[in-house]
Chains A and B, each alone.
Chain A
Amino acid sequence: MNRFEVEQDPKSRDTYYLNMGPQHPSTHGVMRIKLHLDGERIISAEPIIGYGHRAHEKMAENRDYIQFLPNPSRVDYLGGMIYNVGYCQAVERAMDIEVPERAEYIRIVCNELNRISSHLLWLGTFLMDLGAFTPFLYAFDDREKILDILDRITGSRLTYCYARFGGVILDIDDVFLDNVSNFCTYFVERLKEYEKLVIGNVIFRERTIGVGIFAPDLAQKYAITGPCLRAMGHENDVRKDEPYGIYDRFDFDVPTQTEGDCFARTLVRMEEMRQSIRIIEQAVSDMPNGLFLAARVPRRIRPPEGDYYFCVESPRGSFGMYIASDGSDIPFRLKLRTPSFSHISAMPAVMASTMLADAVAILGSIDIVVPEIDR
């Protein structure tokens, strides 16, 4: 029997096992869900992960802090900027490195642009999973605009390595700020179009309302974070609860919904994009002059011995980095706590006794990024 073949239960003629994946389009990567089905009803679901395991944590133990800089953005390729900046902030806090004001503001603008681009990709692919092709083209068109803006200053379009310990590698210019301002004006109008196109759509509502409900106790059991948690009525956001960088200076809301279904998660993410625009507008208008990289950064990055934990709000939830330092150049242990890993481990509880077609909607709505699960 080959590795992917599923064994059927010979005693039962009513139920059967079905592989969803490893190359199913709606898993957005290489992941398999072993479904036990009674007709079209799911009896149990077992996610099988690890096809994209690249051993980032092992790599961290074999290279120094600076050499690990390009890795975090490869862990989650959609929120690459946020991961890259987050890793730098983690080490900066451990080493007590001061970051210039201008660099902090640049990071905020880039982080939030990255969050919007991640949410746009999610919107497009989620709706394509549900059978709607048009929003995919709209979302990717707008996402392309963000990628062009970021490409101009960072030199990359997806896996950014822009932040450095103590700031960012290159300064921004007025053209970048103009581009960002123009995009904000354009995108606020565009969001209204999305809402008309998507939220009001009857088929979309039928496919998502009441589907994939996260039971209230699920949050505590599985440590759900991010938009999935906010769709369950918790007003939790790392940017508000444990403000990192300079997030405490900005005025923005944490959108919540109470239903906890796929529709609520969609509404939360749509509103989050609007809030991100608000943050960007404030950051652009307050952008100070000055250094973009601290003048005095220690040449050897050696955090004092001990454990450090730093978490940031990634587009999918709370992304944490646990760094155990033994006082040398190389991390003794670096653990990446990724939100998708927690969310996908809750899938057996969410998917049980739903319909097969809803499994696609649920997987799409929690916004998984498979490399982030596998690391």
Chain B
Amino acid sequence: MIADKLSSLLRDTTEVQYDARGFHVQYTASADTLPQIADAFLSENFHLEMITCQDRRENDDAFRLIYQFNQYGMPQRHVIHADIAPDATAPSIAATFPAADWYEREIFDMYGVSFDGHPDLKRILMEEDYFGHPLLKDFVDPPNPYRSEDDAS
């Protein structure tokens, strides 16, 4: 059972009401245990549905990484929250789940969060020479040099 394998790795576990929330269990973990957690999910035939991030620097002074694992067949959606300090890095799980490769690149692109051990961490959606991280809450859209004064309103 996945719960037994995870019990030593996780800080607190919340059973969530699936009918209201769309997932079954929510965990909080510390970021450095993520590779072991990913291994546990891999051995139980889960797949990595998505990874995403929240910019919670104003609320908790942290970035929250959200990993969502699911099973084929009977849906069993497990969500892992791992908070990391704004200047810290998280370990990459791309070696376990190749799907994580692009999701981690996307988070790096959009939030500037770095992943240790990622095979090729570079921007994915924005161009390579782009300067900022657009999904940060304090991101300011740069003035567009190609826009005329008349369009500015």
Contacts and interface: CB of A to CB of B under 8 A. Distances in A.
A49 B123 CA distance: 10
A374 B48 contact: no
Given A322-B66, A335-B50, A308 B72 contact: no
A307 B126 CA distance: 27
Among B21, B50, B66, chain A packs the most CB atoms within 10 A around the CB of B50
A345 B66 contact: no
Interface string B59-73: 000000010101011
Contacts of A307: 21, 23, 26, 66, 79
B22 A308 contact: yes
Nearest to B46: A220
B99 A320 contact: no
A96 B125 CA distance: 35
Interface stretch (A51-59, A114-122, A167-175, A281-289): A51-59
Interface string A332-370: 110101000110011001000000000000000000000
Interface residues of B, number: 38
A306 interface: yes
B127 interface: yes
A320 B21 contact: no
Q: Is the interface of A mostly helix, strand, loop or mixed?
A: mixed
Interface in A55-77: 55, 57-58, 61
B49 A341 contact: no
A134 B60 CA distance: 59
B102 interface: yes
Contacts, number: 94
A307 B139 CA distance: 23
A138 interface: no
Nearest to B53: A333
Contact of B126 (A3, A53, A308, A345): A53
A241 B45 contact: no
Contacts of B86: none
A174 to B, nearest CB: 36
Interface in B53-90: 54, 66, 68, 70, 72-75, 77, 79
Contacts of A242: 75
Contact of B49 (A55, A223, A345): A223
B79 to A, nearest CB: 7
Nearest to B109: A50
A221 B23 contact: no
B75 A241 contact: yes
Contact of A320 (B26, B49, B74, B101): B49
B6 interface: no
A190 interface: no
B121 interface: no
B98 interface: yes
B97 interface: yes
A54 B18 CA distance: 32
B112 interface: no
A324 B134 contact: no
A57 B135 contact: yes
B134 A55 contact: yes
A324 B49 contact: no
B33 interface: no
A341 B102 contact: yes
A309 B54 contact: no
A332 B59 CA distance: 11
B89 to A, nearest CB: 21
B73 A236 contact: yes
Contacts of A234: 72-73
Contact of B73 (A241, A374, A375): A241
Nearest to B81: A307
Given A221-B99, A306-B21, 20 more contacts: A49-B124, A53-B126, A55-B134, A58-B135, A220-B47, A222-B47, A222-B99, A223-B49, A229-B72, A241-B75, A307-B66, A308-B21, A309-B21, A320-B49, A333-B54, A335-B50, A341-B102, A342-B99, A346-B98, A374-B125
17 contacts: A49-B125, A50-B123, A50-B126, A61-B137, A93-B22, A96-B20, A220-B72, A223-B47, A223-B50, A306-B21, A307-B23, A308-B21, A308-B22, A309-B77, A320-B50, A337-B50, A345-B101
Interface of A: 3, 49-50, 53, 55, 57-58, 61, 93-94, 96, 219-223, 229, 234, 236, 241-242, 306-311, 318, 320, 322, 324, 332-333, 335, 337, 341-342, 345-346, 349, 374-375
